[in-house]
Amino acid sequence: MATLGFIGSGSIGTNLARLAVAAGINVVLSNSRGPETLAEAVAELGERAHAATPEEAARTGDWVVVSIPLAAYRKLPVAALAGKVVLDTINYYPMRDGHIEVLDSGKTTTSELVQEHLAGAKLVKAFNNISDHHIPSLARPAGAADRTALPIAGGDPQAKASAADLISRLGFDTVDGGPLTESWRFEPETAPYAAPYFTDPDAARAGWVQLAEALRSGNLPQTPPADPGAPLPAAQLRTLLAGTPRKLTADRVLA
């Protein structure tokens, strides 16, 4: 029986774990506070789910999703993840993670930084460009006419194929976005990032501007009603990936 490990079991981790369990895949959740704090999530997910430490989740998983704030990436267990296909959902938000010069300047990408730390792991950037609430609302069975495509990037073709197979079982098509050096193409605020999966992409982008202004002024806006999402076909995603300009920290609205 296949097992998907999770290091980070917050919003993205638990949404992916639900899809995995629905697809007949066992899941091992972990977080920073310890397995006992995941009892509720495990109970909701049912008998296919267990909680463990990050090291145990890494060793048990046939694939491992790392879904933590970038600021914590150096705590990822290097030895336990060596040889594993690691799906990296991490985004860089300086307001949360602190400034990292090599990312601000575009010398490297977020996933290259994580791969550099995880020597021996086969990193595949995935699920970073879709909002958490669109993961359940846009997942579809293989062959569905309205299936949504997600970009992946990585340096190991076999690892990418394995990740694509997993992602398909979870409910999404994939488009190969190239090696990790090209993964800036779907980092925050690029053309394929988050907005195209909203029913109104322009309104989603306008919402980021409002949120940035609200964060500056300290008056947080009310959370907008959940958007059901709009399927993004692979051909459209390819066009967005090919045409997007790079968005460095200084070019971003929310950073």
Ligand X SMILES: NC(=O)c1ccc[n+]([C@@H]2O[C@H](COP(=O)([O-])OP(=O)(O)OC[C@H]3O[C@@H](n4cnc5c(N)ncnc54)[C@H](OP(=O)(O)O)[C@@H]3O)[C@@H](O)[C@H]2O)c1
> Which residue, 99 or 157, has its beta carbon nearer to ligand X?
99
Q: How far is the CB of 31 from ligand X (least distance, A)?
A: 3
SS3 151: strand
> Which residue, 67 or 109, has its beta carbon nearer to ligand X?
67
| SS3 per residue for 6-20 | EECCCHHHHHHHHHH
First vs last Cα of the chain: how many Å apart?
41
CB 18 within 8 A of CB 4: no
Q: How far is the CB of 42 from ligand X (least distance, A)?
A: 13
Question: Tokens at residue 218, please?
Answer: 């300290």
Q: Which residue is nearest to ligand X (CB)?
A: 10
Neighbouring-strand partners of residue 3: 26
> Which residue, 173 or 187, has its beta carbon nearer to ligand X?
187
Question: Tokens at residue 206, please?
Answer: 């306008």
Amino acid (one-letter) located at 200: D
Q: How far is the CB of 34 from ligand X (least distance, A)?
A: 8
> Which residue, 33 or 216, has its beta carbon nearer to ligand X?
33
CB 186 within 8 A of CB 89: no
> Which residue, 30 or 148, has its beta carbon nearer to ligand X?
30
Q: How far is the CB of 109 from ligand X (least distance, A)?
A: 14
Q: How far is the CB of 192 from ligand X (least distance, A)?
A: 12
Distance between CA atoms of residues 230 and 85, nearest Å: 29
Question: Tokens at residue 97, please?
Answer: 């993670």
Residues that bind ligand X (CB under 6 A): 7-13, 30-33, 54, 67-70, 72, 75, 89-91, 93, 128, 131-132
